[in-house]
Amino acid sequence: MDRARIIVSFPPGDVIVEGDENIIYRVVLTERRFKQRKDTKILLLKEAGNRLQRYQSGESIRFDLPVEEKVTDFQNDVWNAVKKIPYGEVRTYKDIANDCGYPRAYRAVGNALSMNPFPILIPCHRVIRADGSIGGFTGGLIWKRFLLCLEDENKDR
């Protein structure tokens, strides 16, 4: 199967979604802007791009697209808990650890989220520190702040 990508521009930079006809392999958040953009004919990637554009316009979007999840049971538990965080809301690393049945594993939760190859689709940006600070993010803090603000501004739509 041919792998392809679609690029969606957001204010902080470009979102690159890579996949094929059946599965998304990864999502990359970058502060770069890519000049050359090939339009893909792969329907799954077109759908991902469409959902990202609607999300960016403030819609609460379900990103229930097929993704390649080669993860441990613990990572799977963490990612599933994160997927349940409602649009415009946040949880702490400790909340997620409790939801997964590992109340002391909040640092391990952070590590599991740092390995999330599907930011936005698996909304790890919605997880913050217990003291209210935003913590880290694979896509960078500019992206995390942007995504949290986007959802906060549109949560009552």
Q: Where are the domains of the chain?
A: 4-56, 73-154
Are 120 and 63 in contact by the 8 Å Cβ rule? The answer is: yes
**The pLDDT value given to residue 59:** 92
**The pLDDT value given to residue 98:** 96
**The pLDDT value given to residue 99:** 95
Beta partners for residue 11, in sequence order: none
**The pLDDT value given to residue 87:** 95
b/e map 88-112, b = 16+ CB within 10 Å: bebbbbbbbbbbbeeeebbebbbeb
Domain 73-154 is in which class? mainly alpha
**The pLDDT value given to residue 36:** 66
Q: What is the DSSP string of 80-127?
A: HHHHTSPTT--EEHHHHHHHTT-TT-HHHHHHHHHT-S-BTTB-GGGE
pTM of the shown model: 0.92
Indicate the SS3 state at residue 46.
Answer: helix
**The pLDDT value given to residue 54:** 96
First to last CA, the chain: 39
Positions marked catalytic: 124
Residue 24 DSSP class: E
Question: Residue ranges of the chain with pLDDT lower than 50?
Answer: none
Please, what is the Cα angle at 31 between 77 and 145, to 5 degrees?
55
Are 27 and 119 in contact by the 8 Å Cβ rule? The answer is: yes
- Selection from 70, 75, 126 nearest residue 97 by Cα: 75
